[in-house]
Amino acid sequence: MNGSYLQNLFSLEGKTVLITGAAGGIGAAISRGLVRAGAEAALCGRTVEKCEALAEELRDEGGTASAHCLDVARVETIQPCVDEVVDRYGKIDVLFNVAGVNRREGLLDVEEATYDRLMDTNLKGLFFVSQRVAREMYKRKKGSIVNIGSHNDQGMLGGCSVYGASKSGVIALTRSMAVEFAQYGIRCNAISPGHILTELTQVTWDHPTRAPWLKERIAMGRPGAPEELVGMAILLASDASSYMTGQAYHIDGGCLCGGAPWEYDTNY
């Protein structure tokens, strides 16, 4: 009985999920987790070949997934992608805004092109994808939007000024969406990953000074894995989170809470 109750509570059976940045390190882990929990997934990204390879992998497992071309930084590509997903599945129940980019360089070094690229992808693109999908959710008066924030939406690092500003904006938008969309039955929350080990962040974890610096500031003393975000993703996509909206959930191994403690007296 207990197993059946939990399965029903967190099941994504019958839910259609649109995921941006679906084939990236974090996006692929979330996509796999959602489909394995029963969702039918529209995997969207700039490189449709990568999305198709992931969709094929999930279909081979018995899941339902399709690949769609979407560059969130090009607003003109958003509505055609949303229309394509709705034509295929008839609806969109959940949106995961995962697509994001970063470039680590000093604030005094940032050129306008870099600034625009980060903001167009991380904030402007997320805004307009959410707007277009929410218009579809509005028709059914139900939906869940999940944005991907960052450690940098609250705790800043050197060389991440534009990225941190864009992710702080994501959290502000999350709250705005929660306030405006609640009347339409649409919830909006954010998952803010801490220092996650992916192909893109491997260079940081191999760095002779940055890696030790980070480990000292993470209570668990290690980077997170993309798969460790899946539990929260399933919760926020499912009806188990029906009274949760407007929040950012930091999954960071105890980084923001204070990291490793200083020396103290203990019998243990």
Token couple for 231: 């539990």
C-alpha 221 chain-centroid distance: 23
**Catalytic residue (one of 89, 115, 163, 184):** 163
**Residue holding tokens 């306008």?**
112
Residue 47 near residue 22 (C-beta atoms within 8 A): no
Catalytic residue flag (residue 163): yes
* Integer Cα distance of 140 and 89 in angstroms: 14
How far apart are the C-alpha atoms of 207 and 203, rounded to whole Å? 6
Burial of 157 per CB tally in 10 Å (0-12, 13-18, 19+): middle
Q: Amino acid identity, residue 107?
A: L
Residue 146 structure tokens:
């999940």
**258: which 2 tokens?**
């204070």
Region at 253 (left for phi over 0; alpha for psi -120 to 50; beta for the rest):
left
What is the rounded CA–CA span in Å between residue 223 and residue 197? Answer: 6
Q: Which residues are catalytic?
A: 163
